Every structure is written in structure tokens, then in C-alpha cells.
Amino acid sequence: MNGVSGLMGGNGDSTPARGVDRRTLLQGSLVAAVLGAIGIPSAASAASSGGVAAVADAVRAAGLPAGASRALQIGAFWPPPSALLTATQYDWLRDAHVTVLQNVVGNDLNSVAHNHQMLTLAGARGMKVVVADTNSAGLKTNPALAATVASEYGGDPALFGFYVKDEPLHTEFGAYAAAYRRFLIEAPQYEPLVNLLPMVVYNADYENYLEGWIGAVGASYVKRLAYDRYPWPTTGGIHGDWFENVELVRHSALRHNLPTGAYLQSVGIPGGLRRPTEIEMRYNAHAFLAYGFGALYWFTWATPENRSEPFTNAIIAPDGTKTDLYAPVQAIGRSLTNLGAVTAAATSQAVYHSGVMATGTVPVPGNSFWRPVNPAANVIVSHFVGDGGRRYVLIVDRTLDAGSKTLQFQTEKNLASVVEVSSTTGLEVSAGYTAATGVVTATFQAGEARLFALPAGFSRDWNLAAGRSVSASTSVEAWSFSKAGVVDGDTATCWSSAGSILTDHEEWVSVDLGGVHVVNAIRLTPRMDTPGEGFPLDFVVEVSKNGTSWTGVVNRVAAPKPTAAVEYGFGRQPARYVRVRGTKLRPLTIEENHYRLQLSEIEVYHRVALSPGAGLFSDDFSGDLRKWVNARNCSVSGGRLTVTAAEDIRNANGGLDWQDYAFEASLKVDRARIGLVFRCTDAANFYMWQLGADGALRPHVKIAGAWTLLKTVPGVVPTGDLTVRIDAVGSTFTTRINGTVVDVTSHTTHVRGNIGFRADTAVEGASIDTVSVVEL
């Protein structure tokens, strides 16, 4: 774990599989020659060349959702060894609120008999097991062994899942993704276990590493995004990148709507990790809870012996007795169980820090509806939304000093109620809320977490742009105009580009969110004193994590002149900066047709309702064409879109950031052919799958304006109404027509972009009934 290949024994021995000393990794440095030899692939190039369609079919046949359960897991890594496979040991696991035991390759529990014995002991106590036997060690070279493992244990009521790999390198993604998918094909109701490396190994390329694994399996089929990074080094304090690593995993998980998992430090490794105290373990566990993690595993439960490095005593000593860590672990487990019943089932909206700021963290906004009265208080303030829309705020004390402290938090006055979810019972109890002042008072032990529930119906949105810093290409800073006016929540104030310019030109305005957030919606309010004046005709919304590299997420052409706020949704993106760039401005009728970009408010959100799994885009054509761009030579009538000749692509509005998705359309080819366009970033770069009335499918790619016909697949396009689905996952494109796979094509050029339809010349055209795009 965390570079500890000797412990995990992925190769079945104690030799570090990566040629990198474990202690070096634990201390946060990596041999430059090793890293230099690693070429990190993009998510597209890391994707396996096949298997996703088979997984989808298996999941559908089982009648299961693709993802993992959202119920909280408390796991035990390195469970009691074979000499301690006793009822008493498993009673102690149950009493410490453990729900899942993780067996792994490399311990002395890898016989089939031992795995069945673990299942029997765990099942009798309401716990479950991740199994690992001698076949598990061969999955890298022979993924078909997954079928053998699944057949051996599948159906046991205590089975939770299957060990696949601990800490794979990116070069191993193809092999282990194949084994992962094979488990899902054989037994889709269980969870394959893959634990990813920490960012200390990949540093600036870590997000590519995470996205590479997600792309290799397929985002819809990754059961959980789990990793390890232990916080407590022998040098003291907390690892400087610990919170940054948590943030990056959270961002990738939210973007793809994935549950998360992580490992809790309960052991020391001389020269690398210090043995944690009760306070440190409580801090570690509750901090992960604040970031929305729903599976937390103790590393380690039993004390590893006869490894290549020594370990301090963990929760259970080598002789099978409880150590001094057992009672704290039991208490922490009770807290995690009661608080995690809410947080694991909810969606993490925003995570803020106050006091001393660690790398990668985001400060509590000064105008937040829940903020510490004392901004120097060292706490985490985490916002959640439950399935029913109820709002929760989790506070974690971020100190290591023994003793209690009383903290106060400012929220809104005269709320109907503010209650607390008890960490000891899980029940709602009264909180120290004073309605007249809007202040909540609570006492915390070091590392303690307290969860507050806001009244039902409280619907305060977390506008991530509120009160933040704004920059612009130009700006009028007079009268009611200012850069600050576009994020002040007051529609009577406004931002306007400067200059009396009588010709069209480009202007932009950008908001710094104060730190990287996951976002998926922007709400633009036009100038309201003369509604819609200054709202751009053509514009792009772009996001960036560093203010230098930008990704387009909304592209609007010929936008109507709005008289009220307009919201645009897009796929979830990690972003610190959000920019509105007007590429074609609207002349101001109130100012002698001068060209300006003007907005009253910019609001940025992470909407739960816009989760990628719920669909990136859909249209049943019951209304107009406002969801589409370049809608020339087409019309809507009777609930169908009719597309006829013209070189234009009728693109969905937005979606320039979409990567892995299923594009499905119900349509009829009315003329000679119609093109289904996907991964389109502009008119010169996209894929087009052309459906012909002659029955042929003709996949094309257009690169920098140049066309290439990739192949011709004859006899697969029937006449009449049909449903076409194109699954674009990494570099693999699987095409189904009326539910049957008719083609699988691989191509690596275009990795993201939206969808559309293309007809060229008067002999091409189609009528389309419905369209949907769902992230995979």
C-alpha cells in the first residue's frame, strides 16, 4: 500500500515490483530516472480495445445498476491470518463496526479453503469478504482466471467482491482492466477491488493516471475509485500533499459520478510512517468523511509479520491480542457508521477549510451561509445534498492537540430548525442554534466530526462564484458598473466591457473561484435595467484549473436576447477559473449600436440534478431547436427533427468537454444517407458515422478539415425507423443498431467533443425522433 509492494505482494513475493524503494515513496520522493521513463497515457489511449459492450450487456441482463452501492463501508485490510481464523477474532471485527474484510494476494490466506472459511465466519456476523486466492495472483497475465474465481465464490451470501490489484502502474491498466471487466461479466453484482497509487508517484500527471484507469474500465463500470496515501510520516506533522491528493480523487470521482474509497492509517513503518495516536486516527477518518468518501479501510487490521520491512503493532498484535488502538478504532467506527449513513448516500457539493490552509484546499468564502465566526479556526466545512434534496453541513476539527474547544458558526437567522445527527446514535438531536443571531455553537474534541442538518425545504444554492475575484478583457468601473458587480448577487449592478467601439470584436470576463471545484452549470443574468442589452450573440464558456489552459464547456451561437437569467449545464469539470468569452457581440440599441459585452450576474454551480449518470443531453423535439447550434435546413414538426441538405453540423448546444459517452438516436433515413457526428470540437474536427439507405454504415473521421473514410460495413442499416447507439469509450467506438452490435472501430485522434447530425447535398437527410447522450 502506498508504494508498499512488499506487503501487498502483487508478484507473490516481497520484491518491490516497481524497482522503487518503498521508504522513498513513503517519504514523498521518487527517483527521477524512474519517473522520466514513465509516459503517462491519456484516458483515451489507456482504454482497452474491447470488453465494454460485454460488460454493459451483463449488467443489463442482471438487472443491476452499473455502479457500486452507496452504503458506507468500513473495511479491514490485512485481516487476521490463518492462525487467527477464529470466532473470537471475527467477533472483534464486528464489534469494531467493520463491514468488509479485504483479503489480498501475498498473505497466508490465499487457499480456496481459507477464503471459504473467512466467508463463513464473516457471514455469521453480518460482514462480507473480498476474496483473493492463488488464481488472483495470475490475473495480470490471464484475465480469464476471473471466471474461475467468480465461479468458486459467486453466490455466497457473505461475498462482497474480488481482489484484482493493489497499486497498478499505468502500464498495467490494460491487463487489470481486462480482469476487472471479466469479473463484471461473470458476476456483475459484486465489486472488483483495485486500489490506485497516490499522487506522490505521478505528481503533475496524477490526474491523467486517475482518468486513465477510469477510461480503461469504462466510467459507467468502475464500481469505486479507491486509493491510498497515509498522512502521518515519521518526520512529524501531516504529509504536505495529503489534502491535495484527496481533492484530486474527489474531483475525478464527482466528474464521473463514482463512489470513493481510501485507506486509514492504523500502523507504523519505521523510517516511513509513525504509529498514529487516537487523535490522528480520528482526524484521518473524519477528514475522508468530509470529502464524501464512502468506503474506508483500516491499514492494517492485523499486524503484518515476516515482511521485507518491520511494522509496528496495528489494531491486533501478532499474538492475536487487542492493542491500545482497538478501543479508539471501535469508537471511530461507531462515529463513521452513524455519520456515514448520511454522507455516503449524499453528494459532496463543496469542501472548504479555514485557519491554516494546506496545499490544494479551498478557503471558506466570506459570504458563505455557513462559516466559522473565527476565521482562524482550523476546521473543514463540508456541504452535502441528500437524495431528497436536504442540505447537510459536516464540520471536522482539524487539530491534533488534546482537549476540547468550543467553536461557533454563522448561518442564517430564524431558520425553522438546525439539528445535529448524533455520532453515537445516528439520531437527529437538538443543536446549539440560536435563531435570533443565526449562530451555531458546538464543542469539539481534536479530530472530531459533527454533522448538522438544515431544515427540509432549505434550498440555498452554493453559488461558487459569489463574492469571488473577477478579471476581464476591459471593464467600466463607474456608475453601477464594475467587475465586482457581476458576482455580488445584486441584479441592479452590472459588469460591462469598456470602450466606445462601433465594430464587433471579442471581450471576456473571468471568475476565480478561489480554488479548484467540481462544476457543471453556469447561470448568466443579463443586464436588467434594459433587459438583454449587452448579452452576446455568440459566446463560449470555458473552464481552467490554472488560468492558462482552457476547456470549452458551452458553445452558443445566435443566442436569443434574454430577459431573465439563463442556466447552461455541462459535464462535470474540475475548475478554478470560469470564463465567458463573447465571440460575436450584440450591438446596444440604447448606445447607438456600440458593441459591448454586459452581464449582471455570473453564478457557477455543482448541481446534483446534472449528474453525468443522469444524462448529459437529451431532446425529444417536443419544443423548438434552442438546444441546438447551426440549425439551418432543419425543422421540428410532430415531435421529430427533420434534417436536410447543407454542410452545417447541427450540434447539441454545449458538450465540448464530453469524453466517454453513449450517443443514442431514434431516427429514419429519409434520403440517401445521414451522418451521426460525435466527439466534435469544431466544423473541421470530429467523427461521423454515416448511415446509408443502401444498408451500409460508413465510419468517417475529419481531421483539420480533411476527410478519411475508415471502413464500410455493408448490410447493417435496415429501412424504416431504427435506433442507433454509439458508445465512445477511450479510443473504442461500439455501434449498435436496434440493440445489435454491428461494428467496433478504434481510432485515437479525437478524445472529446459534442454530438450532432450532418447532411450534405440535396440527396441526404433524415427525421429524428429522440436523442440522448449519457456518460460512460
Query: Does 338 score more than 70 pLDDT?
Result: yes
Question: All 3 cell numbers of residue 13?
Answer: 513475493
Q: Which three cell numbers stand for residue 560?
A: 436569443
Grid coordinates representing 292 are: 464524501
CB atoms within 10 A of CB 157: 8
**pLDDT for the residue 388:** 79
- 124: helix, coil or strand? coil
Name the percent of the chain lying above pLDDT 70.
88
The arithmetic mean of pLDDT across residues 361-377, rounded, is 93
pLDDT tens figures, 184-196: 999 999 999 999 9
pLDDT of res. 70 = 73
Handedness of CA 760, 764, 770, 774 (dihedral sign): negative
Rounded mean pLDDT of 496-509?
Answer: 91
State the sign of the Cα–Cα–Cα–Cα dihedral 66, 67, 71, 75.
positive
Q: Does the structure show a pLDDT above 60 at 6?
A: no
What pLDDT, on a 0 to 100 scale, did the predictor assign at position 315?
99
664's CB contacts (< 8 A; 6+ apart) are 723, 724, 725, 726, 771, 772, 773, 774
- Across 315-349, b (16+ Cβ under 10 Å) vs e yields bbebebeebebbebbbbbbbbbebbbebbbebbbb
* CA separation, residue 652 to residues 41, 73, 195, 627, 681 (Å): 29, 39, 37, 6, 11
Q: How confident is the model at residue 40 (pLDDT cuts 50, 70, 90)?
A: very low
Domains recognised in the chain with CATH numbers: 75-344 (3.20.20.80), 351-453 (2.60.40), 469-607 (2.60.120.260), 617-775 (2.60.120.560)
What SS3 state is found at 33? helix
Predicted confidence (pLDDT) at residue 181 exceeds the cutoff of 90: yes
pLDDT tops 90 at residue 354: yes
Q: Tell me: pLDDT of 404 over 80.
A: yes
Task: Identify the pLDDT of residue 496.
Answer: 97
What is the predicted pLDDT for the residue at 560? Answer: 87
Sign of the C-alpha dihedral, residues 750, 752, 757, 760? negative
Is the model's pLDDT at 717 over the cut of 60?
yes
Residue 160's alpha-carbon distances to 87, 382, 510, 555, in angstroms, are 20, 29, 47, 44
Give the HSE-up count for residue 522: Cα atoms under 13 Å, Cβ half-sphere.
29
Phi, psi (rounded to 5 degrees) for 432? -80, 60
Closest CA to 287 of 216, 219, 361: 361
Q: Does residue 474 have a cis peptide bond before it, meaning omega lies within 30 degrees of 0?
A: no
Tens digit of each residue's pLDDT (9 = 90 or more) over 727-738: 998 899 999 998
15 pLDDT above the threshold of 80: no
Range from 233-247, 697-711, 750-764 carrying the lowest mean pLDDT = 750-764
515 φ, ψ (degrees, to nearest 5): 175, 170
Q: pLDDT per residue over 655-681, tens digit each?
A: 777 888 999 998 999 889 999 999 998
Radius of gyration, alpha carbons of the chain:
28
Q: pLDDT band for position 42 (50/70/90)?
A: very low
Output 625 or 122, whichever has higher pLDDT: 122
Per mean pLDDT, which of 24-33, 345-354, 467-476, 745-754 is the most reliable?
467-476
pLDDT at 262 (0 to 100): 99
**Residue 308's pLDDT is what?**
83
Cell digits of residue 291: 470529502
Between vectors from CA 43 to CA 664 and to CA 681, what angle results, nearest 5°? 55
DSSP 434-467: ETTTTEEEEEEETT-EEEEEPPTT------TTTT
Average pLDDT in the chain: 88
Cell of 273: 510512517
C-alpha grid cell, residue 476: 467600466
pLDDT attached to residue 171: 96
Q: What is the pLDDT of residue 319?
A: 98
Question: What size, in residues, is the chain?
Answer: 776
621 vs 341: which has the higher pLDDT: 341
pLDDT tens-digit profile of 118-171?
Answer: 999 999 999 999 999 999 999 999 999 999 999 999 999 999 999 999 999 999
3-state helix, strand, coil in the chain (%, to 5): 20, 35, 45
Q: What is the mean pLDDT of residues 200-206?
A: 95
For the cut 90, the answer to whether the pLDDT of residue 762 exceeds it is no
At residue 143, the pLDDT reads: 95
Distance (Å, whole) CA 53 – CA 40 = 26
Top-confidence residue, 706 or 622? 706
